[in-house]
Amino acid sequence: MAAELFPAKKLPTVTPTAVQQYQQQNVSNNNTIQGCNWQGLYPTIRERNAVMFNNELMADIHFVVGPPGGTQRVPGHKYVLAVGSSVFHAMFYGELAEDKDEIRIPDVEPASFLAMLKYIYCDEIDLCADTVLATLYAAKKYIVPHLARACVNFLETSLSARNACVLLSQSCLFEEPDLTQRCWEVIDAQAELALRSEGFCDIDAQTLESILRRETLNAKEMVVFEAALSWAEAECHRQELQPTIENKRLVLGKNIYLIRIPAMALDDFANGVAQSGVLTLNETNDIFLWYTAAKKPELKFVCKPRKGLTPQRCHRFQSCAYRSNQWRYRGRCDSIQFAVDKRVFIAGFGLYGSSCGSAEYQAKIELKRQGVTLGLAIIKYFSDGSSNTFPVFFEYPVQIEPDTFYTASVVLDGNELSYFGQEGMTEVQCGKVTFQFQCSSDSTNGTGVQGGQIPELIFYA
């Protein structure tokens, strides 16, 4: 992913890709300048500076970048670097400036250092998922704030349950509160996916503690327990310990008491935690007494269930009705498209039920983006004959990005006619989130913006 901050003008005497070709060549530090009047080829200082990126020509400083065994020698130009970074200015022109020809930087990756230099020399931001964290570290170290902001924006855009825990750890390290908040939003709403991700096992102990303390974590406590054990096994390997039950308990330390074991279902405790061997015999006995005895023992564990998140509902109709020949289901699809202005997590839909007394329906619900299925579930629900909506949920909440249309669909199987919505709205404000609706070409049973099924979207924000 690349972002051009100041787009270059096309020149009549130079091919449009000439500067880019120099830059690509310079990444490997094997460039050559053809001719003695190369400056005449480029009318702007930006383009002439870009040619000097990672170029030995007129270089008055060199950096040996990277850890031992993985270093790269990078040429630089003090004036250009000092203009782009106050740290480089102090290093080369400050009161404590040292007159060195070569500077070693073992704590920055070569690719990330070059990405930073490319921004300083070329006004271009070139980021990729593999190096963006290391580039953020370099931008923070050398106080290049606009590049650091671009790195944070890149991370926020690519944030998902798969990487949220790792990015939470890094955002705290880099003191980026906005990114930290975005990470918590994903972890809270998609807690079970985040806890089961590979990245969860890579976090540090302090981040583990903060997650286990989280009151709004939207997950079953058994999933939290299993995730903590997976982290403990990975930590044993990091500390070069055998991943025995005893060592797992050792590396977890007091964090074990942040797992709300007494708040689990009794079946989960008896068939899972109690037989894992992680708890002592006394702890196991005391927790069994907690479940069953009138006089409960004191426990070191947190006993109250987590509050989790309260789902919100976006209702898109102003009224509902029923008629003698509507709304009928014969395996056809009811569908609507929607977009939001902020990231949300769709947990499920609210659906209408029978208008002819109590009845059971089978619902196949689906959430798609540009034809790609993001969530799918087949669920039975019972309706009591009222005009209320009845919730149906996906297995995990689905992350929805702003300013992109998604398609919500349901195929209902049931003999009874149902209520249907009327006076549909194209825009609905729910708290701080604005939903927009438009008709979907997938809808073959009559649902649209003005009326039909799928009256509610159930979401976390």
Q: How far apart are CA 411 and CA 406, in angstroms?
A: 17
Contact 409, 440 (CB under 8 A): yes
> Using one digit for the tens of pLDDT, what is the confidence trace for 334-389?
999 999 999 999 999 999 999 888 899 999 999 999 999 999 999 999 999 899 99
Cis link prior to 327 (omega < 30° from 0)? Answer: yes
Contact 342, 402 (CB under 8 A): yes
Q: How many domains does the chain have?
A: 3
Q: Taking the CB of residue 2, how many other CB atoms lie within 10 A of it?
A: 9
> Using one digit for the tens of pLDDT, what is the confidence trace for 257-267?
999 999 999 99
126 and 239 belong to one structural domain: no
CATH of the domain at 382: 2.60.120.820
326 and 256 belong to one structural domain: no
> Using one digit for the tens of pLDDT, what is the confidence trace for 6-39?
233 333 333 444 445 544 545 555 455 555 787 8
- Show the domain range for 417: 312-460
Does 360 reside within a domain? yes
Nearest to 455 by CA among 422, 406, 413: 422
pLDDT at 43: 87
CA–chain centroid gap for 368, Å, is 18
Does 195 reside within a domain? yes
Stretch (H or E) spanning 455:
none
Band of the pLDDT at 310, cuts 50, 70, 90? very high
Which of 138, 156, 174 is at the close of a domain?
A: 156
253: left (phi over 0), alpha (psi -120 to 50) or beta: left
Q: What is the mean pLDDT of residues 39-46?
A: 84
185 and 106 belong to one structural domain: no
Structure tokens at 220: 């079953």
429: left (phi over 0), alpha (psi -120 to 50) or beta: beta
Q: Which residue has the tokens 């990015």?
A: 167
Q: What amino acid occupies position 452? A: G
CA angle 200-202-206, nearest 5°? Answer: 85
pLDDT at 38: 79
Q: What is the mean pLDDT of residues 391-399?
A: 96
Which of 156, 172, 190 is at the close of a domain?
A: 156
20 and 119 belong to one structural domain: yes
The DSSP symbol for 332 reads: P
pLDDT at 322: 85
Decide if pLDDT at 3 tops 70: no
pLDDT at 270: 93
pLDDT at 213: 96
150 and 211 belong to one structural domain: no
Does 305 reside within a domain? no
318 and 256 belong to one structural domain: no
Decide if pLDDT at 112 tops 90: yes
What share of the chain has pLDDT > 90, as a percent?
79
The DSSP symbol for 79 reads: H
Does 275 reside within a domain? yes
Nearest to 346 by CA among 216, 254, 459, 454: 459
> Using one digit for the tens of pLDDT, what is the confidence trace for 202-236?
999 999 999 999 999 999 999 999 999 999 999 99
Which residues partner with 32 through β-bridges?
Answer: none
318 and 451 belong to one structural domain: yes
Structure tokens at 270: 């008896």
Q: What pTM, to 2 d.p., does this model score?
A: 0.81
pLDDT at 30: 45
Q: Give the pairing of strands 2-4 and 72-76.
A: unpaired
Band of the pLDDT at 414, cuts 50, 70, 90? confident
pLDDT at 27: 55
Does 428 reside within a domain? yes
277 and 340 belong to one structural domain: no
pLDDT at 16: 41
What share of the chain has pLDDT > 70, as a percent?
92
Which residues partner with 336 through β-bridges?
Answer: 408, 439
CATH of the domain at 89: 3.30.710.10
Q: Which of 33-42, 161-170, 392-401 is least confident?
A: 33-42
Q: Taking the CB of residue 36, how many other CB atoms lie within 10 A of it?
A: 7
130 and 175 belong to one structural domain: no
Q: How far apart are CA 165 and CA 365, in angstroms?
A: 29
Decide if pLDDT at 2 tops 90: no
With a CB cutoff of 8 Å and minimum separation 6, the contacts of 125 are 2, 3, 4, 5, 119, 147, 150
142 and 27 belong to one structural domain: yes
Structure tokens at 149: 């902001």
Decide if pLDDT at 417 tops 90: no
146 and 168 belong to one structural domain: no
Average predicted confidence (pLDDT) for the chain: 90
Does 5 reside within a domain? no
Does 188 reside within a domain? yes
Which of 124, 156, 188 is at the close of a domain?
A: 156
pLDDT at 164: 95
23 and 126 belong to one structural domain: yes
Decide if pLDDT at 5 tops 50: no
Q: How far apart are CA 53 and CA 84, in angstroms?
A: 13
Band of the pLDDT at 90, cuts 50, 70, 90? very high
Better-predicted residue by pLDDT, 38 or 186: 186
Does 349 reside within a domain? yes
End-to-end CA distance of the chain: 27
CA–chain centroid gap for 398, Å, is 12
